[in-house]
Amino acid sequence: MATVTRAKIPAREFALYQTLREVPGAEFECERLVESGDGTVMPLIWARGADRETLREAFERDPSVSDVSLLGEFDDELLYRMHWIDQVYLVFQMVTTLEATVIDAYGDEQWWYLRILFPDRDALSRTNDLCESRGLTFEVVRVREMRGDPVGRFGLTREQYEALTMACDRGYFEVPRRTGLDVLADDLDISHQALSERLRRGTDVLVQETLLVGPRGALGESSQ
């Protein structure tokens, strides 16, 4: 069964480490990451915490990147396309040999945080073996099986999924609301307090699994 794995890699063992050292406070978030042949990786990457000129100079000195193109500038974020040509052996092997998908990645001067879809547990195990043989660090933070239904895809419990979808269908999240917690709780045969906690925890899981990357997303699974 496919698994979604959250893991982290020390920044010193990954691309853009020199840039991150030269530009304290810079952060990078990958929107797309694919292999581009010849052992290189090509990401679309958002940069925050630094201006374009500072980053341009840092990229020019960074041996891990080449062919950097600025695609857009939006308030305090810059969108780049580039090639990672060094310190990306692990990711290159994951997306080629191991047929994994890097869903998202976030880097700061300490760590790179990755969310990876592995086709099965064996691929994850082989990743660990590969890192051990090459002296690389791959610290698994969390693993969950990805079932085919929406519950499995987004990491919700069935109770959270039922509560959230019912609340949405009946207009609980609309402004103004078309129904209240008491009515929903009665229909689910649970207490007002239990439903409130279920909705909050379910919402927290959805935000972690769809919006957050980096250390904010590397949290434990929510309970029912």
Domain boundaries, the chain: 3-145, 150-215
Sequence-separated contacts (24+) of 186-194 with Cβ below 8 Å:
188/162, 188/163
Residue 221 has a pLDDT of 43
Distance, in Å, from the CA atom of 181 to the CA atom of 204, rounded to the nearest integer, reads: 18
pTM: 0.77
3-class SS of residue 63: coil
Instruction: List beta partners, residue 3.
Output: 118, 145
Instruction: List beta partners, residue 101.
Output: 117
Tokens 């500038």, residue? 73
Residue 79 has a pLDDT of 96
Q: State the number of CA atoms in the 13 A half-sphere of 28 facing the CB.
A: 30
Does the N-terminal peptide bond of residue 176 adopt cis geometry, omega within 30 degrees of 0?
Answer: yes
Continuous H helices in 135-214:
150-154, 158-169, 181-188, 192-210
3-state SS of 69-101?
Answer: EEEEEECCEEEEEEEECCCCHHHHHHHCCCCCE
Residue 152 has a pLDDT of 62
Greatest Cα pair distance, the chain, in angstroms, is: 63
- 50's CB contacts (< 8 A; 6+ apart) are 23, 25, 26, 58
Which helix or strand (DSSP H or E) is residue 59 part of? helix 52-61
Which residues of the chain are modeled with pLDDT < 50? Answer: 219-224
3-class SS of residue 34: strand
